[in-house]
Structures are given as C-alpha cells and as structure tokens.
Amino acid sequence: MNFLAHLHLAHLADSSLLGNLLGDFIRGNPHDAWPEAVAEGILMHRRLDAMTDALPEVDEAKQLFRAQTRRVAPITLDVVWDHFLARHWQELHPQQSLTTFVDLAEQAIVPHQAGTPEGFTELNAIMWRQRWLEHYATADYLAPVLNGMAHRRPRLAALRDSYDDFITNYAALEQFFFRFYPRLMQLAQQKQL
C-alpha cells in the first residue's frame, strides 16, 4: 500500500491519519516517542504492509513482472494499488469525492508535523501542493512517479522499466486489486487491521 490506500484505510478504521502516513518514517517502538493515537496509527501502517505483502493476490501480481523488474515489483505495486484506488474512488468511497478526502487528510496531518522526521516534512511539502494523490488516478502519472523513485534510489533503477509491466498487465492488476482491496476495507471498518 502507498499513501492514498494507507490514508483511506486509516480513515475507515478511525485511526490516526498522521500515524498511518508516518509509518514508513519511524523505526522502533512508536510508543516511546509518539502520542497513543499516532503510535497506534504507525503500528496499523506496519500491520497493513505486512498483511498486504503476504496476500496471495499480491504474490500472483508480482509474477506478472519481467525478470529484470520483479525485484522492484513490490514497490511498483504499492503505487499501482493507489492508482486503482484513485481511479475507482467514487465506486469505493461514494460518500466523499477524492478531492474532498485529500483536502481533509491534509488538514488533519499538516498542522501536526512538528517533531516528525525531515523526510516526512519534505514529503508533505510536495505531496499536497502537487496533488499527488488525485493525480494517481491517471495511469500516465505513474511513469514520472516511478522514474522519480528510481532517480532518488539508483539501486532501484528497475522501477523505470516496471512502468511497462504495469501498462502491459493493467487489466490483470486491476482484477487483483478488486480481489483484495474490498476485503481490506471491510477489515478496516471492523477495526481488524
């Protein structure tokens, strides 16, 4: 899962949006340095990542990637899942537009960034202003996203080529998404994530 899915599932679970977005930036026991709600959000983010990585649908989706990109497939898939969520937002979250959801998430997170890691504040300075989460709905937008990730981490250069695997296998990946994401939504609503 990437940013949008983490925020969406956190919202459905009434979990801290700040904590769920912070999940990739915090190491160790979050209860040592964060308020209870934020720490629990960080832990939910970690559980969700572990659960998603273990899903049979995600394992099958990884097999759609070529040998030279399979190593980075989990990273690409995190972005791909956000694409399908954004693209089908009105179907999955009809009570609120994606733009409204993103605006409310920004309002819930940005004012509470004091004391967060520098990388997290840098992410927030760009992500909200450039409207990443809404742009994820456009498949073409994922090419510069993956290129940017590859540029920042040269050992992940294969991310550039993984975009072609995404486009080539678009319909199959979309089917995988719809096989597991509604289950995650239900688990979130039941507070079981």
Q: List, as one string, the DSSP characters of 39-65.
A: HHHHHHHHHHHHHHHT-HHHHHHHTTS
Q: How far apart are CA 128 and CA 76, in angstroms?
A: 21
Q: What is the pLDDT of residues 87-104, one digit of tens each?
A: 999 999 999 999 999 999
In this prediction, residue 152 carries a pLDDT of 87
Question: What confidence tens digit (pLDDT) does each residue in 10-22 have?
Answer: 999 999 999 999 9
1, pLDDT greater than 90: no
Beta strand spans in the chain (E): none
Q: How does the average pLDDT of the chain come out, rounded?
A: 96
What is the average pLDDT across 141-156? 92
For residue 187, give the nearest of 11, 15, 12 by alpha carbon.
12
**Cα–Cα distance measured from residue 20 to residue 48, given in angstroms and rounded to the nearest whole number:** 10
pLDDT, average across residues 148-176? 95
Neighbours of 74 (CB within 10 A): 15
> What confidence score (pLDDT) does residue 45 get?
97
pLDDT tens digits along 30-89: 999 999 999 999 999 999 999 999 999 999 999 999 999 999 999 999 999 999 999 999
% of the chain with per-residue pLDDT over 90: 97
pTM score: 0.96
